[in-house]
Amino acid sequence: MKICVDQINDKPSVLQAEVPVASFPVLVGMQNDGVCTFTIPVRYDLTAFREYDHLRVEGSVNVTASLTCSRCLAEYESSIASNMTIFFRRGTPEEVVLEEETELSEQDLISSVYCGDEIDLTHEIEEQIAMDVPFRPLCGEYCKGLCPECGTDLNKTTCSCSGKQFNFKFSALKDFKASR
């Protein structure tokens, strides 16, 4: 995922490829931590061109991940697609090291520093994907989750616990009213 700086001019060059997840240390780390499993290679579709004093790289990155719903614990697949724009300006090697130590912020516009004649996009691409993996995954907006009492998956079937709980509250309210 390297760009040869000398080959970039003011006409956009197209950079497209599919890269195995194993090439991205941050994504491999997420898999090892059990955050999710990436089920297809990472695909990027970017253009790069020279603009004023910097290089501009923009386009989309996407991949599919298998996630575990935080409410019902079901596994589901979700496509993760995200747009990014990065401005690269030439800097000193010290500046590059400093940049690598700072985490990318949660925004689409990223500015970065490079030195030498190559820009490696690996880190930018993996950080962009990592940001788009949901922190609390949900299989669907209306997932009902598991019953806190008996563990029944309420998306698939019902159980009697929730009913009982409701009746209990209701009768307590009735007693309260009756005692006045």
Q: Which residues bind Zn ion (CB under 5 A)?
A: 69, 71-72, 139, 143, 147, 149-150, 152, 159, 161
* CB within 8 Å of 124: residues ≥ 6 apart: 57, 84, 86, 104, 110, 112
Q: Give me the least distance between CB of 153 and Zn ion, in Å please.
A: 8
Cβ proximity to Zn ion, 20 vs 134, nearer residue:
134
Please, what is the minimum distance in Å from the beta carbon of residue 155 to Zn ion? 6
- How far is Cα 57 from Cα 10, in angstroms, rounded to an integer? 12
Q: Which is nearer to Zn ion, 102 or 157 (CB)?
A: 157
With respect to Zn ion, which residue has the nearer C-beta, 34 or 180?
Answer: 34
Shortest Cβ 105–Zn ion spacing (Å): 30
Q: Closer to Zn ion by CB, 36 or 86: give it.
A: 36
Task: Please say which residue, 69 or 113, places its beta carbon nearer to Zn ion.
Answer: 69
Residue 151 C-beta: closest distance to Zn ion, Å: 7
**Could you give the CA distance from residue 86 to residue 102 in angstroms, rounded to a whole number?**
15
In whole angstroms, the minimum distance from the beta carbon of 117 to Zn ion comes to: 49
